[in-house]
Amino acid sequence: MMPGCAPATDDSLADDASSAAQDLAQLRARGVLRRAVEAFGESCGESHAARAEADDHAPLDHDAVDTVLGGGLARGAVHEILAEEAGDCGAAHGFALALALRLNRGGAMLWIQEERARAEDGAPYPQGIAMMAGKTMAGNVTAKNAFDPARIIMVRTRDARSTLWAMEQGLRCPGLDTVLAEVTGLAGACDLTASRRLVLAAREGGATGLLVQAGSGARDLKIASAARTRWLIGAHPSRRGLAGEPGRAAWRLHLARHRGGREGRWLREWDHEHGRFSAIGAGEGAAASRSGASQALSGNLPALPHQRTDQARGVAAG
């Protein structure tokens, strides 16, 4: 035994062995992910960063929004999406998916979900993704530029650190259009240094990063970040369909931070039939809400025909 060294106990040896096993398992998992991402990138051809510079923005289909953003949402950059309130998590995820669809250029999407985020917000709903992507449940294409959900690569991570690492690896992959990552909180996870690493990876690979925070994110608006934009998203009442069916996904958009300097607030909805954003009724949604053209689905809606069968029989019998 070396002088000044305490003898090792069975407990300390067991702890060291357990820690070493965890480190080895994490290294193996990272190696598998790295090889999978690299192999997928090789099969998808040239890097998006090598494409024409004229294709460096994805229009959001609204002159005011696109003007503020300098032509649309910047590709090869990182954008943060936060829920306005805890109940707006679904809206934030839906908006992130809509952005990913607008950013699509024929490549694939890497969707990374932290286990805690999955526990809080649930797993992605395949049928909902297909509908927003321009496909029916039967697989029929409804949108002109429909995105095939089969091109979404789903990855689950143990914690925020692993999520950010996987996101960085994905952003460097030339075969990916977007990398959508869910974390439980920006504070303590994605600081200025971590966000700079993501930005550099996006510039090198050409993919666009969408970092979504699970849970209320309004409290994290002051966190320093190198991301190009930071959005605060709230759910907006959707307009019901002609038969009373659920309407299009609708949001209150708040561009709370923009490295271009300008910010803004808008109301937009997702037109899944054409794969684009659109205005919410007349007067950009505000007038529509006052006139009743935009109604919450939780209101008193007429029952669908198959729900009135028993009621009709009862009236006839009486």
The predicted-structure confidence for 194-227, as pLDDT tens digits, reads as follows: 889 999 999 999 999 999 986 656 666 677 788 9
Whether the Cβ atoms of residue 89 and residue 215 lie closer than 8 Å to each other: yes
Question: Count of alpha carbons within 13 Å of 127, Cβ hemisphere only?
Answer: 2
Secondary structure of residue 37 in the 3-state scheme: helix
Examine the pLDDT at 46 and tell me if it is beyond 80.
Answer: no
In which band, very low, low, confident or very high, does the pLDDT at 39 lie, cut at 50, 70 and 90? Answer: low
The predicted-structure confidence for 134-168, as pLDDT tens digits, reads as follows: 765 445 555 556 678 888 899 999 888 889 999 99
Examine the pLDDT at 16 and tell me if it is beyond 90.
Answer: no
Whether the Cβ atoms of residue 177 and residue 109 lie closer than 8 Å to each other: yes
pLDDT, position 141: 56
Examine the pLDDT at 22 and tell me if it is beyond 80.
Answer: no
Interval 1-10 mean pLDDT: 47
The predicted-structure confidence for 100-127, as pLDDT tens digits, reads as follows: 999 988 888 999 998 887 877 777 777 7
pLDDT, position 283: 42
Cα separations in angstroms, 207 against 103, 108, 186, 212, 301 = 9, 10, 21, 16, 43
DSSP state of 310: H
Exposed, middle or buried: residue 191 (CB in 10 Å: 0-12, 13-18, 19+)?
A: middle
71-75, 159-163, 238-242, 292-296 — most confident range: 71-75
Angle 192-205/160-171 helices, nearest 10 degrees? 30
